[in-house]
Structure 1
Amino acid sequence: MKNLYRSYLESFSGLRKEIWLLSFITLINRAGTMVIPFLSLYLTKNRGFSPGEVGWILTFFGLGSVTGSYLGGKLTDKIGHYKTMAGSLILSSILFVLLQFPNDFWTICLGIYLVMTVADIFRPAVFVAISAYSKPENRTRSVTLIRLAINLGFSAGPALGGFIIATAGYSGLFWVDGITCLLAGILLLKLLHPKRSVPETETEIDNPASAFKDNLYLIFIAVMVIFGFIFIQYFSTMPLYYSDHHHLSEFEIGLLLGLNGLFIFLFEMPLIKFMENRKYSSITYVILGTILTGISFLVINLTGWTGILVVGMFLVTIGEMIAFPFSNSFALNRSDGKKRGSYMALYSIAFSISHIFGHNTGMQLIDNFGFTFTWNTMFAFAVLACILLVILKNLLRKEASAT
């Protein structure tokens, strides 16, 4: 047990203080974003929208995410990651509070769009910050630590969110989201001054190579769109399944979603540390993570036993723990000596595109064909993503042998 504990601590060693500070700020921010997992329930139960209407509303969630990711990349290049992240957090705090007040369909769509535009300006800036603060050999673990903070926040957030709904109603969620975003912005301004960052080399900034001319990277981005399309179902359509099919309360749904963050907090960093020492490529690990995520949808169709939901959550969490850090690491490493901004912006936009089509498509599938068909469809998409990744792996091997 002592050796296991020492090994766990060693998996965190070698990371710079700035990465730890960034992780702490991210933790505070993500612990407050408890509106997002409950958004579909809020719109159906509190606002009275149908699943089909919710799907269209969440399309604006994705459109805002694309806009924010694009603007975040532009602003990061223009004013730096520090000011971009701080501005995003502080302005988001105001918009999250205001989001509770729109009532009709189009004002809610506009509100969701504005919130996500401002909130996702943060994302490309974080990627640039990770690149600036971490050594190349520690990038995967640096990304993993940021994800650990995100998921630790998600572990506490949904559970606390369910409690807030039960005691103070949905309105309380928006106020807590706003306050925590503001707190995260203040901490960023106080703790993470830009002088702490390490400037990128001129070759990384000025080299004309762009992600949009890298055909193999574009295949990878297509896979990330598909993977994101599948994964986001756990935060839009899946809560409806928990509620409608298994009759779980908001508090119980919050606890179940919180297991995701708890599993990640306990196991992701040691798992990544272990896998980094193996001889397999990042793409191989992304394949493994993708198929496990797909299987998580398949197993919940096998039985009506509510306990199977925990099994599905465990499988998707393992898949997420493997796929996200190694896909992010692949993107960062692929961008070395090239236009890093375009590579990381495109990586962020991939998941924004998933939000545009994933939420709406999932809701429409459920509305027209039911949950069972929808979960089988998600598994089929996971298989398609794995096929594309195998093709990409072979092309990367040929590229390496040609150079």
Structure 2
Amino acid sequence: MRTMRGWFRDTTGGLPRTFWYLWTGTLVNRLGSFVLIFLAIYLTQERGFDELAAGLVLSLWGVGGAVGTTLGGMLADRWGRRPTLLTSHLGAASMMLALGFARELWAVAVGALLLGLFAEAARPAFGAMMIDVVPERDRLRAFSLNYWAINLGFASAAILAGLAAEASYLLLFVIDAVTTLTTAVIIFVKVRETRVPAVAVALAAGAARPRGALRTILTDRVYLGFVALNLLGALVFLQHISMLPIAMGDDGLSPSTYGTVIALNGVLIVAGQLFVPRLIRGRSRSHVLALASVVMGVGFGLTAFADIAWFYALTVLVWTVGEMLNSPSNSTLIAELSPADLRGRYQGVFSLSWQLAGATAPLLGGLVRQQAGNGALWLGCAAIGVVMAVAHLASGPARERRAVALRPPAAPVEPVTVVRPPAPQAAEAAAIAPTEPVGSATDGYAPEPDRDRRAAPTR
């Protein structure tokens, strides 16, 4: 029991209050994330649109999300994290209701486009605020806790959404809007602005105010290389919601079986994600990311040999372990590679990689599967995992050097002024206590080398 309390304290203790408000908002928002789970089914079964129209609506949601992440990142840096979060949540709640009441295809399409824009605009601001309030030493724990909340909320939403859909599909949109508004209220009441103006950041670093944010990002080869690796990983990872249900259907497995198998992903993350920080603490992030890439690749590669439910379940469990290792290391590294005054835009570029993967992963997966076969698709995913692992190992040192260079300078410690007593007093002190050398810990003085060491900035 004592060990469990110690683990809980080490996992959750010492994090700032603002983080817990953001964490609560994440959990509430994810508990109501009904619409995206059932949107394709709603469009085809409830609204009567064909597959092409439904695909168009989902694509427009992705286009809106790509625009939203870019715009949200810029606003988070220029306007502020808090107003960006409030505006995006209020806009998303409004569009959620509008989409629920829309009937014509054009109205549904516009609603999906604007919903994607507002919903995804919150991501860069949220990520930047998390980095603002959580010290670097605690970010691994903080991002793991937030990722745990996301999966707990999403797994619960999948169950609740099924119950709500039986009553009314409109209820899905209403509940989703209410939870989004609840998150906005939490931010409005409890969360203050955390953005530090660019001028203050520049002055703190002893440099001139940075110019050309877009140029800075486009010329940051270390960061863009990391984003490119994330795009590759996302292309593999998102096959679980595009090609995996098709593969299982070809083997005669029902949609409900797919739902049960894929639910193991959330169950494993909720059960084990909070133990990951202690497992990877102190280890090379590049090695952890490389291992995660291999494990995820192996998990998806095994799908080529699966033909029954338990084998598919095994593949999901394997690549979920890779996902659990990847997420916290990925998030902390993105945080450290983002300059303080450009955190929102850097988070936006990172989120954009997921939006691009969401739009292209189904197309590429379907093309490979159609032209080369099911086995080639999944073995190709395994090959990409190995390539990513090698790339992480090769690019890791440059990323860590960049992360060190971007850390704010430590505040210099005031030098310790040593006032030595006059010679007669020193002699008298020595006569009284001859066994106590000057400069020892007991007399309050320090020898010169010790003083210099304490006066030097430490990290």
The alpha-carbon distance between structure 1 residues 162 and 226, as it changes in their structure 2 partners (threshold 3 A), is same
RMSD: 3.2
Contact 1:62–1:355 under 8 Å retained in 2: yes
Deviation at 1:244, TM superposition (A): 6.0
**2:80 aligned partner:** 80
CA 1:391–1:57 in 2, change beyond 3 Å: closer, same or farther?
A: farther
What is the correspondence of 1:356-367 to structure 2 with a 5 Å cutoff? 356-365=359-368
Instruction: List runs of 5+ in structure 1 lacking aligned partners.
Output: none
Pick from 305, 324, 327 the counterpart of residue 327 of structure 2: 324
Structure 1 residue aligned with 2:227: 221
Q: Which residue of 1 aligns with 2:32?
A: 32
Q: 2:343 matched to 1:308?
A: no
The farther-off stretch of 152-161 and 18-27 is 152-161
Residue 111 (1) aligns with residue 93 (2): no
Give, in whole Å, the separation in 1 of the partners of 2:162 and 2:398. Answer: 46
Displacement, 1:330?
A: 1.0
Quick one: which amino acid aligns to residue 267 of structure 1? G
What's the CA shift for 1:310?
Answer: 2.3
Aligned pairs for 1:336-347 (under 5 A) are: 336=339, 339-347=342-350
State the aligned residue count: 396
What whole-Å deviation, never above 9, does each CA across 1:133-184 have from its counterpart, x for those lacking one? 111211222222221211111121112223333x235444333222221222
- Pick closer, same or farther for the CA change 1:185–1:340 going to 2, 3 Å: closer
C-alpha distance in 2, partners of 1:395/1:135? 22
TM superposition shift of 1:369: 6.1
2:77–2:342 contact (8 Å) kept in structure 1:
no
Hey, what does 2:356 align to over in structure 1? 353
Equivalent residues of 1:95, 1:115 under 8 A apart: yes
Q: Equivalences for 1:119-268 in 2 at 5 Å? A: 119-165=119-165, 167-168=166-167, 170-194=169-193, 197=194, 199=196, 201-203=200-202, 206-208=209-211, 210-242=216-248, 245-250=251-256, 253-268=258-273
Per the TM alignment, residue 390 of structure 1 is displaced from its structure 2 partner at its CA by: 3.0
Q: Deviations over 1:380-401 (max 9, x none)?
A: 3333333332332255578899
Amino acid aligned to 2:122: F
Deviating more after overlay: 32-41 vs 105-114: 105-114
Alignment partner, residue 297 of structure 1:
300
Shift, 1:72, TM fit: 0.5
**Alignment-mate amino acid for residue 264 of structure 1:** I
Which range moved further: 254-263 or 114-123?
Answer: 254-263
Post-superposition CA distance 1:183-232 (Å, at most 9, x none): 222222222233xx474751379445823221121111111111122222
* Structure 1 residues 267 and 103: alpha-carbon distance in aligned structure 2, compared to 1, 3 A threshold: same
Q: TM-score, normalised by structure 2?
A: 0.76
CA shift digits 1:286-319 (9 cap, x unpaired): 2222222222222223232201232222223222
Gaps of at least 5 residues in structure 2 are 406-459
**Structure 1 residue 272 displacement after superposition:** 1.5
2:309 is paired with a residue whose SS is coil
Counterpart of 2:276?
271
Q: Is the 8 A contact 2:74 2:345 kept in 1?
A: no
User: Secondary structure in 2 aligned to 1:99?
Assistant: helix
- SS in structure 2 at match of 1:193: coil
1:229/1:357 Cα in 2 relative to 1: closer, same or farther (>3 Å)?
same
Cα deviation, residue 253, structure 1: 4.7
Please state how far the C-alpha of 1:53 moved relative to its aligned partner. Answer: 6.4
Question: Are the equivalent residues in 2 in contact too, given 1:295–1:315 (CA < 8 A)?
Answer: yes
CA contact under 8 A between 2:299 and 2:318: conserved in structure 1? yes
Larger relative contact order (CA 8 Å, sep ≥ 6): 1
Query: Mean Cα displacement is larger for which, 16-25 or 340-349?
Result: 340-349
Distance in 1 (CA, whole Å) between partners of 2:152 and 2:66 is 25
Most deviating of 339-348 and 210-219: 339-348
Inter-CA distance 371–24: structure 2 relative to 1 (3 Å threshold): farther
Shift of 1:361: 2.9
Number of the residue aligned with 1:335:
338
TM-score by length of 1: 0.85
Alpha-carbon distance in 2 for matches of 1:26, 1:269: 16
Indicate the structure (1 or 2) with the bigger Cα radius of gyration: 2
Q: Give the distance between the partners of 2:403 and 2:15, measured in 1 at CA.
A: 29
